[in-house]
A and B are shown apart, each in its own frame.
Chain A
Amino acid sequence: MSDRRRFLSTLVIPAVASLPASLRAAAKPWQPAELAEGAAAEGYLESIPGKVPLIKRSYRPPNFETPIDYFKEPITRNDAFFVRYHLAGIPQAIDAKAWRLKVGGDAARQSAEYTFEQLRHDFDPVELVAVCQCSGNRRGMFQPHVQGVEWGVGAMGNARWKGVRLKDILDKAGLSDKAVEVAFDGADGPAMASTPDFVKSIPVDRAMAEGTIVAYEMNGKPLPHFNGFPARLIVAGWTGTYWMKHLTSIEARTTPQGGFWMNPAYRIPANTFHVDPFPTQATAANQPITDIVVNSLVTSIRDGQRVKRGDMVDIAGVAWDGGRGIRDVEVSMDDGQSWVLALLGKDLGPYSFRTFSHRFRVGDAAPVVRVRAYNNRGDTQVEKLIFNPAGYHHNVVQRIRLEVV
C-alpha cells in the first residue's frame, strides 16, 4: 500500500455538518449551472435526522434536495428522499399510537376517527409506485429567476407506497352527491398563529381515483418522519403539493376549499399547459397546478464531462409524467439534428420513473447530448421554457456538452 493509500484509508471523514464553511464548499454536490449565485452557494450537503447528506436549500422550514446520483436507481431510497415543508411548525416526532385521522365534512354522511392500527387493519391495503415531485422542482433554473425555494433537479423521488384507497375511506363515510372537493390537513403548521395553515384540496373525482391513497409505508418501511410519518396522502400523477404529510384530517366538501395555499398559491396560468383541469378552483386567469408534465433527467453524464474518442458512453437516466406512462425516450448526440430511441427499462407502472439508456461510441465531433421523453398521449418536453411567475413545470429538454480529449 502506498503512503497515499494508507493516509486515505486511515483518514476519518468528519460529518459534513461539523465542517467549517471553507471546507463545506468541498462537499458541494453537482448542481445545475443555471442556478443563481446565491442559490448555488447555499446548496451544500447537510445532514438532518434519518437522512443521508442532502442538498440544503433552507434549514427552517427544512427544504432538502436529493443529489442526482440517487436517481441512477428507479426507486429512490427513503433516506435520500427529498424533504419539503412550507411552514416551520413541524412536530419533532409523532407518536403513531396517539395519532388520529379524522374523516368528515359537510359532504360526508357520517364522520369517523381512525387510529393508526385501524387504518392498517380496517381497509384493504394497496400498493403503487409513484413519483412525488415538488411543483417547483427546477425552479432555480428559471430564466429570469423567480422567487421561492431555488430547487435544482432533485425535488422529486419515486417510491413504492403502501396504504389504503382514499375512496374506501370516503365510501365508508358515505359521500353526498353534492361533494365537489376533498380537503386535507396535516399535523405540521405555521410558526405564528397569524400565518395561514397549510390546507389543500383535490377534486372529488381525483379523491375517488385508484391512484389516490393514504400511505403508511414507503418502500416497505414506515414513512421517514420528514416524509410525513405516520401517514401521508398520495395523489399519484399530481404534484407534491397535494401529498399532505402527517395527515390528520380528511374533509369532504360541498364548497371549494379557500385559503392562501389554494389561491393565490400554487397557480399556473390558464390554457398554457396540457394538464388536468381543476374546475371548482379555476378562474379566467389561472388554475391550480395539477398533474406532472412529461420530463426526463440524464444521470450518467454531466455537462462539460471529458470523454475520449472511441469511448463507449452511456446516456442513461429516468423519465416520468403525470400518469399516462412513458412511451418513448429519444436521444440525440448531435444537438438535436438526429434522434434515436433509447432502450426503456422495466415498467413499474404509469406513475413511476421509467429508466432509459443508450450507448454510443464517441467520434471526432464533440457530442452535444439531448434527451426528450414522450408519454402515451404524445406529449413531450419543451425546447424553450414556458415561463410562469411561480416557477412550475420546468421540463425543458436538457443539453449536455461533452468534451472530446
Chain B
Amino acid sequence: MGARWIAIAASAASLVVVAAWAGEEKVKLKEGPGLPLVRANCVACHSLDYIPLNSPFLDHKGWEATVTKMVKAYGAPIKPEDQGPIADYLAANYGKK
C-alpha cells in the first residue's frame, strides 16, 4: 500500500506543479484498518490534517457524504470499492463519539 501511495502522489505531481511547504509531515493519523487507503487517496490533493480538523462530529453517514463529495464535487479518483472502507476508517477513528 505504501508503494501505491507514492505512485499516486507522483502521478498527481506530474499533472501540475504543486508547491509544497514544510510542516505537513507532522500530521499523524490514528492507526487502524483502512489507513493506507486513506493515505493513498486523500494526500494527493490535501494534507491529512483536514481529517482530525473535522472531528469528532461527523457520524458514519457524515463521513460517507464527505467521501462522496470528494469524488463528485472535487473529482477525486477514488475507486468505488475503496470508498466504503475509507468512510469506515474515518468514522471509526474520527467519528462522532
Contact = CB atoms under 8 A, between A and B. Distances in A.
A59 B45 contact: no
A37 B16 contact: no
Interface residues of A, number: 40
B1 interface: no
Nearest to A36: B57
Contacts of A189: 16
A25 interface: no
Contacts of A89: 16-19
Q: Which of B21, B24, B52, B56 has the most CB of A within 10 A?
A: B21
Given A58-B47, A192-B44, A192-B76, A17 B54 contact: no
A38 B56 contact: yes
Interface string A67-97: 0000000000000000000011111100000
Contacts of B56: 36-38
B26 to A, nearest CB: 7
Given A17-B22, A37-B56, A58 B75 contact: no
Contacts of A14: none
Contacts of A62: 21
Majority SS at the chain A contact face: loop
Nearest to A16: B23
Nearest to B69: A147
Contacts of A38: 52-56, 94
Nearest to B26: A21
Contacts of A17: 22-23
A184 to B, nearest CB: 20
A42 to B, nearest CB: 5
A60 B53 contact: no
Given A46-B23, A191-B12, A147 B18 contact: no
A193 B17 CA distance: 12
Contact of A149 (B18, B22, B24, B53): B53
Q: Which of B12, B22, B58, B66 has the most CB of A within 10 A?
A: B22
B49 to A, nearest CB: 5
Contacts of A58: 46-47, 49-50, 53
Interface of B: 12, 15-24, 26-28, 44-47, 49-50, 52-58, 62, 66, 73-77, 94
Interface of A: 17, 21, 36-39, 41-42, 46, 48-49, 56-62, 87-92, 144-145, 147-150, 189-196, 260, 264
Given A92-B19, A189-B16, A192-B44, 18 more contacts: A17-B22, A17-B23, A21-B28, A36-B56, A37-B55, A42-B52, A42-B53, A49-B21, A57-B53, A58-B49, A59-B49, A60-B21, A61-B46, A89-B16, A150-B53, A190-B74, A194-B75, A195-B76
